[in-house]
Copies of this chain bind each other. A is one copy, B any other.
Amino acid sequence: METQAADDGTPLDASATSDAPASIGGWEARAADPGYRAAVLDLLGALAYGELSAFERLAEDAKFAPGLVDKAALAKMASNEYHHYQQLHDRLVEVGADPTEVMTPFVEPLENFHRMTAPSDWLEGLVKAYVGDAIATDFYREVAVRLDDDTRDLVLSVSADTGHAQFAVDRVRQAIEEDPRVGGRLALWGRRLMGEALSQAQRVVAERDALSNLLVGGAEVQGFDLVEVGKMFNRITEAHTRRMAALGLAS
C-alpha cells in the first residue's frame, strides 16, 4: 500500500475519498444479519476469483517477458496473487461457505473482461496488470470502510500492492522514452481497459443485490442509491486518470 502510493504518485486514501463510517463491530456480531452475510460472501467470492484470475493472467504475461529477470518478476507477482487467493479461500471455509459456490457468479464477468482485453504484447500486459490491479484495489478499499473489522482487515491485506506498480511504471516509461509512439497506442489501450472494467463492474452491481446494498451504504441501508454508486465509480475513474499520467500516458 505505502509502496504503491509512494511509487506512482497517486495515493488513494479510502478515508479521504469516501465517507469513513465508524467501526460496525466484528464479523461474529454482524453475520447474524443474513443480508450482511450474503453481501460479504459475494465480496469475498469476487475478490477470491479475481486473485485466481490475476494469477492466471500474470503467469500468461510471463510468457511475453523479454528476458529471464522480467519473467521471474511476473512469476513472483503471480505467486503473490495466489497467496491472496489462499487467504480468501481459507477465510470462506472458516465462515462455513463453499468457496467454489461463492466464486462462481463472478467467473463470467471476469472472464468476459479478460476476453475483451487480451493483451497483444508485453507492454499491453504490463499496463493491464498495473491498471487492472489498481482499479480493483480502489474498489475494494472503497468497500472495505463499510465492513466489519475482521472482513475489513482481510480485504485490506489482500488488496496490498503485490509489486505491479513500480515494476510496470518503470518498464512502460522506459519503453515510451525509447519510442514515443508507444505512448499513443498504450493510452488508447488504457481507455479501453477502464471502459471494459466499468462495464463489467456495473453489470455485477446490477445483478448482485446484496453486494450493491453494501456498496451504497452498508448493511443498514436497504435502498439502492445509484447516485452514490455513480460517485464511487467517478472517484475510481479519477484515480485511474492520475495513474495513467504517472505512466506517461494521456487518459
Quickly give the copy total for this chain.
2
A100 touches B69 (CB 8 A): yes
A231 at the interface (CB under 8 A from B): no
Q: A82–B89 contact, CB under 8 A?
A: no
Task: Kindly identify which residue among B60, B82, B89, B100 contacts A67, using a CB–CB cutoff of 8 Å.
Answer: B100
Q: Is the CB of A85 within 8 A of B56?
A: no
A59, B81: Cα distance in complex, Å: 12
Would you give the 0/1 interface string for A87-111, flagging 1 where the beta carbon is closer than 8 Å to chain B? 0010000000001100110010000
Contacts of A75 in B (CB 8 A): 52, 55-56, 82, 85
CB–CB A89/B72 < 8 A: yes
Give chain B nearest CB distance to A195 CB in angstroms.
Answer: 25
> A173 on the interface (CB 8 Å rule)?
no
Q: List 15 A-B contacts (CB under 8 A).
A: A52-B68, A55-B59, A55-B75, A55-B78, A55-B79, A56-B62, A56-B75, A59-B59, A59-B78, A67-B100, A68-B103, A72-B85, A75-B82, A78-B78, A79-B82
Binding site for B on A (CB under 8 A): 49, 52, 55-56, 59-60, 62-63, 67-69, 71-72, 75-76, 78-79, 82-83, 85-86, 89, 99-100, 103-104, 107
A49 surroundings in chain B (CB, below 8 A): 68
Q: Is the CB of A82 within 8 A of B76?
A: yes
**Is the Cβ of A71 less than 8 Å from the Cβ of B86?**
no
